[in-house]
Homo-oligomer: A and B are copies of this chain.
Amino acid sequence: MNKTEQFLQLKGIRVTAMRILIYNFLSEKKVTVTLSDIENAFDKADRTTLYRTIKTFEDKEIVHQIDDGTGVTKYALCEPNCHCDLNTDLHLHFHCTQCGATVCLTDHKIPKIKVPNGYIAEHVNLVVKGICDKCSVK
């Protein structure tokens, strides 16, 4: 049993071929991926299975969702010390309008946001759009 399999088991989910494949696919990626990206990478597999696999990963805090405003949900592996559940230590996300890539800026935390009296802030989503490092040097 290798690292990936051990990790999945530790997270309390059954270790299946599909889950290992998807997990490894995500860990090789430097950027966030959509369900379609996964579909294209595993065209033999059914979309529903991929969809449910990613949902399971989400539930178990293996991946987190990113809503970058493009209308398509992006996913990325959580960092070892990620606390998606607690909504603390939230990093920001960057969407490149040139190449379309969305990346986690894991060590750029979201600053404290002030809200008016009476409002209770529970969660913050912050997406910066612009040109990424790879596109800006071209």
Contacts and interface: CB of A to CB of B under 8 A. Distances in A.
Interface of A: 67, 69, 92, 94, 97, 105, 108, 111, 113-134, 136-137
Given A67-B69, A108-B114, A94 B122 contact: no
A120 B130 contact: yes
Q: How many chain copies? A: 2
B137 A130 contact: no
Nearest to A122: B130
Of A67, A114, A125, A136, the most chain B CB neighbours within 10 A belong to A125
Nearest to A137: B118
A125 B124 CA distance: 10
A97 B122 contact: yes
A114 B133 CA distance: 14
A123 to B, nearest CB: 4
Contact of A130 (B121, B131, B136): B121
8 contacts: A67-B67, A67-B69, A113-B126, A115-B128, A117-B133, A119-B132, A121-B130, A126-B127
